[in-house]
Structure 1
Amino acid sequence: MISKCNRPTRRNLRIPKQLLIADSTKITVGMGRLPWAPLKGERAGIKLHGSLVADEGCLHQVTETTGNCPDLLSCEDIRGKHFILVADRAYGKHKLFDDYLEQKQQFVIRLRDNTHFHEPIPRKRKREFAGSIEQDFTCQLGTKATLSQHRFRIVKLTDPDGNPVILATNLHKPSAEAIAEMYKKRWQIEVFFRWIKQHLNVPTLFGTTPNAVFGQLYTALLVYVILKFLFDQGNALVHQSAKLTFAEFDRLFSLNNLPTEWTVYLTSKFTLP
């Protein structure tokens, strides 16, 4: 029902947008293998930039570059204004936030710890901060030379190790605690890239030309998409007692040791009439 609501209805019901998590992963090898993608020293490498719809684990957009390409340059290709963009410090350029505001791109992006805050004004609250939240205020970002045109909301908190985490956003209705929870969803794309590297043998590049390298990356992504599709469809059909996590499904599938109900589902899925 929610997916069929039009935009005015969604606004009236205050149905939040889905979170879109953006990040990249780098794969490095010796310079001799990829001379067309040099990095510092005697290394070479390529990058896979991607965005993931939080909670669903579905890929939204993917693009590829050489390893020395800043993440910020690929952000335009993997974001979407119908989502709330969640990203780390590599995507936190102050001037870009002004563009996001004009383009109606909502975001929650981590800032560098040395970010300058111009004329901060604390936001009013009726309750004390919960959890690790320390501050919630609005300000312009940057020094005089890089000062943002608009004011943005800043939420300061600490991570489990006590390190500072500074989040910038153009969302004003959610609480500071809700903003922090949005950013915590970012771990999902870290898990996704780790899964790609560990299970699909991506760090071992089979070719040296751009077509071979990037073809291998996209083949790996296709395998992930197919497995995720089978998992989502199967988990919705099997009995509650047979439901699995994606990690469990992947492990048992590779061992050819899925529960009987899953085996029946997969057999019927791929049996020709």
Structure 2
Amino acid sequence: MADANERRDYRIFEDFAMHLIGVARSLYGQDAFGLDLDQSVYAIDSTIIDLCLSLFDWAPATKGRAGVKVHTLLDLRGNIPAFIQITGSRVHDATFLDHLRLEAGSFYIMDRGYVHMARLVRFCHAGAFFVVRSKYPLKYRVVNSVPTPPATPSLVILTDESIELTGQQTHKTYTWPLRRIEFYLVEQARHITLLTNHFDLPASHVAELYKSRWQVELFFKWIKQNLRIKAFVGTSANAAKTQIWCAVCTYVVVAIVKKRLALEGSMHAILQVLSLSLFEVKPLAELLGEQLLNDETGEPEAQFCLFPEISGQ
């Protein structure tokens, strides 16, 4: 297996993953989003997969460790990755923005690691909207301020204002209108400040958009926990990328199966059934329907039968 991962070009699996992503996105494209928005909403983030420096010396990171970084553009309608890039862990998050094909009218939700004014200008030129957490300190002057809505039990909007950047470089780099929204998350006891180039959405909706960014964190967590992506078969860059793309393929296949068969079970449950049923000669819909029903009724099978002709089942 390690030898095969060394020799097979990872781009085969990358191309297959992108094909599957296209299928999945067409299935989930009409799914309801938490807010009443017709536009596409994407979350952008990255995660680092730690590696052993003595084995993966081609991927140096910091503090004597090695690692690769998985940059992801996640379509929040269905939580399907729309675009993925794998780089060394030292590559800055904001460089990922250079590789995106921005869609006019769509929203892109990002954390503060993506605050790079020259790159954010691209969104304005493309007619796309960004919502990004602000870095501190940010030099600006207030152009206009609007009244804030009443507080809710979970969210308090503190400020909603149009600003103009006054930093030595930023006032030259970013000259487009900019909106600054500061709010307080009651449950987490956190103050968050956002920057966006969208001025029509209520401030509370912009805050909810940012909160939805955590779906990409759940995507990374699911991939790492369920697909054992931390244990690599092979030590070359090609082997590592092959295994990561195979993990992405698995995630998307499970998402496709869940949607096409209208399954109520979680993706974790579906994956567990599939992984334990590789030798079952049974239609997929029937197999998953039975096992997920058993899970719901609290009567799971103790062990899948691999050789029914021997056991007499």
Task: Give yes or no for TM over 0.5.
Answer: yes
CA distance in 1, matches of 2:37, 2:47: 32
Query: Residues 221 and 94 of structure 1: is their aligned pair in 2 closer, same or farther, counting only changes over 3 Å?
Result: same
Number of the residue aligned with 1:221: 248
Number of the residue aligned with 1:74: 96
Query: Residues 265 and 129 of structure 1: is their aligned pair in 2 closer, same or farther, counting only changes over 3 Å?
Result: same
The aligned amino acid for 1:133 is: I
Q: Whose Rg is larger? A: 2
Query: Residues 158 and 79 of structure 1: is their aligned pair in 2 closer, same or farther, counting only changes over 3 Å?
Result: farther
Number of the residue aligned with 2:271: 250
In structure 2, the residue corresponding to 1:115 is in which secondary structure?
Answer: coil
The aligned amino acid for 1:174 is: L
Number of the residue aligned with 1:162: 189
Confirm or deny: 8 A CA contact 1:62 1:78 kept in the other structure: no
Q: How does 1:231-270 map to 2 (within 5 A)?
A: 231-235=258-262, 243-254=264-275, 263-264=285-286
Instruction: Give the drift of 1:63.
Output: 0.9
Query: Residues 208 and 141 of structure 1: is their aligned pair in 2 closer, same or farther, counting only changes over 3 Å?
Result: farther
Note if 1:123 corresponds to 2:146: yes
CA distance in 1, matches of 2:266, 2:52: 37
Number of the residue aligned with 1:10: none
The aligned amino acid for 2:199 is: H
Instruction: Give the drift of 1:151.
Output: 2.5
Query: Residues 142 and 186 of structure 1: is their aligned pair in 2 closer, same or farther, counting only changes over 3 Å?
Result: farther
- Out of 179, 195, 199, the position equivalent to 1:172 is 199
The aligned amino acid for 2:198 is: L
CA displacement 1:169-188 (0-9 Å, x = unmatched): 11111100000111111111
The aligned amino acid for 2:131 is: V
Number of the residue aligned with 2:73: 51
- Out of 116, 130, 152, the position equivalent to 1:93 is 116
Structure 2: where are the runs of 5+ without partners? 1-25, 27-35, 290-313
Query: Residues 119 and 222 of structure 1: is their aligned pair in 2 closer, same or farther, counting only changes over 3 Å?
Result: same
CA distance in 2, matches of 1:252, 1:167: 42
CA distance in 2, matches of 1:103, 1:210: 34
CA displacement 1:82-111 (0-9 Å, x = unmatched): 421111111112232223212212111111
Higher relative contact order (CA 8 A, sep 6+): 2
Structure 1: where are the runs of 5+ without partners? 4-13, 268-273
CA displacement 1:179-221 (0-9 Å, x = unmatched): 0111111111111100111111111122211111101100111
In structure 1, the residue corresponding to 2:97 is in which secondary structure?
Answer: helix
**TM-score, length-scaled by structure 2:** 0.71
Instruction: Give the drift of 1:161.
Output: 2.9
CA distance in 1, matches of 2:65, 2:37: 47
Query: Would you identify which runs of 4 or more consecutive aligned residues in structure 1 move more than 6 Å?
Result: none
Number of the residue aligned with 2:50: 28
Confirm or deny: 8 A CA contact 2:97 2:119 kept in the other structure: no
Confirm or deny: 8 A CA contact 2:226 2:268 kept in the other structure: no
In structure 2, the residue corresponding to 1:132 is in which secondary structure?
Answer: strand
* Residue-pair matches, total: 245
Note if 1:18 corresponds to 2:44: no
Confirm or deny: 8 A CA contact 1:22 1:78 kept in the other structure: no
Number of the residue aligned with 1:8: none
Number of the residue aligned with 1:149: 175
CA distance in 1, matches of 2:181, 2:284: 44
Confirm or deny: 8 A CA contact 2:131 2:210 kept in the other structure: yes
CA distance in 2, matches of 1:57, 1:74: 19
* Greater Cα shift, 29-38 or 94-103: 94-103
In structure 2, the residue corresponding to 1:197 is in which secondary structure?
Answer: helix
Q: How does 1:162-201 map to 2 (within 5 A)?
A: 162-201=189-228
Confirm or deny: 8 A CA contact 2:261 2:285 kept in the other structure: no
CA distance in 1, matches of 2:101, 2:151: 31
Instruction: Give the drift of 1:80.
Output: 3.0
- Out of 130, 137, 148, the position equivalent to 1:114 is 137
